[in-house]
């Protein structure tokens, strides 16, 4: 999967040693999309990739990632694990008119082509007495309150 956005938070590098004695490292970031309603996405690079993609706050990137979930003590945890980050030149985006970087249109969204085929059939009219007549006669009021 891929997403484009700007790095807004760079968390401290975490590292340690696994139970098997292998060293590990993890670099976490928060990315904000550039949509009409921006979304914030927390992701990380694990292992060798933690140092392979040195990103800084303000960098505009295209992030390739996988979503992973795991169970621990009866609860499920989901993480977004980045595997590639390409820095994007903001000037190139503006010149190309990239819709992911442009503001939302001010008018209503287009609805697409008009549907073809026969017109829908209207429901048949049902003759019924006004509700006031039922209440005056004491009939038809089967509600418990």
The CATH code of the domain at 2-96 is 2.40.50.140
* Nearest partner of 63 among 89, 93, 33, 96, judged by Cα: 33
**What pLDDT is attached to residue 138?**
55
| pLDDT single digits (tens) 80-126 | 999 999 999 888 776 666 555 444 444 444 554 555 555 555 555 55
Which two three-digit tokens encode residue 61? Answer: 């990137």
**DSSP conformational letter for 138:** T
Rounded CA separation 101/87 (Å): 14
Please tell me the pTM assigned to this model: 0.62
Per-residue confidence (pLDDT) for residue 37, from 0 to 100: 96
Greatest Cα pair distance, the chain, in angstroms, is 85
- Each domain of the chain, given as residue ranges in start order, spans 2-96
pLDDT at 56 over 90: yes
pLDDT category of residue 69 using cuts at 50, 70 and 90:
very high
Q: What is the pLDDT of residue 91?
A: 83
| pLDDT given at position 94 | 67
Residue in 34, 95, 26, 25 with CA at minimum distance from that of residue 59: 34
The pLDDT, as a whole number, for residue 103 is 43
Per-residue pLDDT for 66 more than 60? yes
Please report the pLDDT score of residue 118 as a whole number: 55
How many Å apart are CA 3 and CA 84, to the nearest integer?
11
In the chain, which ranges are E strands? 2-10, 14-17, 23-33, 40-46, 60-72, 75-87
pLDDT value of residue 145 = 58
Q: Would you place residue 29 in the very low, low, confident or very high pLDDT band (cuts 50, 70, 90)? A: very high
* Mean pLDDT computed over 8-12: 97
Predicted pLDDT at 102: 44
Length of the chain: 145
């Amino acid at each position: 999967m891929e997403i484009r956005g700007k790095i807004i938070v760079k968390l401290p590098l975490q590292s340690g040693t696994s139970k098997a004695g292998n060293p590990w490292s993890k670099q976490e970031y928060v990315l904000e999309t550039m949509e009409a309603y921006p979304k914030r996405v927390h992701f990380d690079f694990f292992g060798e990739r933690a140092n392979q993609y040195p990103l800084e706050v303000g960098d505009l990137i295209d992030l390739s990632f996988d979503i992973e979930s795991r169970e621990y003590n009866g609860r499920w945890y989901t993480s977004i694990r980045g595997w590639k980050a390409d820095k994007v030149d903001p000037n190139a985006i503006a010149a190309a008119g990239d819709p992911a970087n442009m503001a939302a249109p001010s008018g209503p969204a287009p609805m697409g082509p008009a549907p073809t085929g026969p017109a829908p059939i209207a429901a048949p009219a049902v003759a019924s007495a006004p509700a006031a007549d039922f209440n005056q006669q004491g009939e038809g009021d089967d509600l418990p309150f």
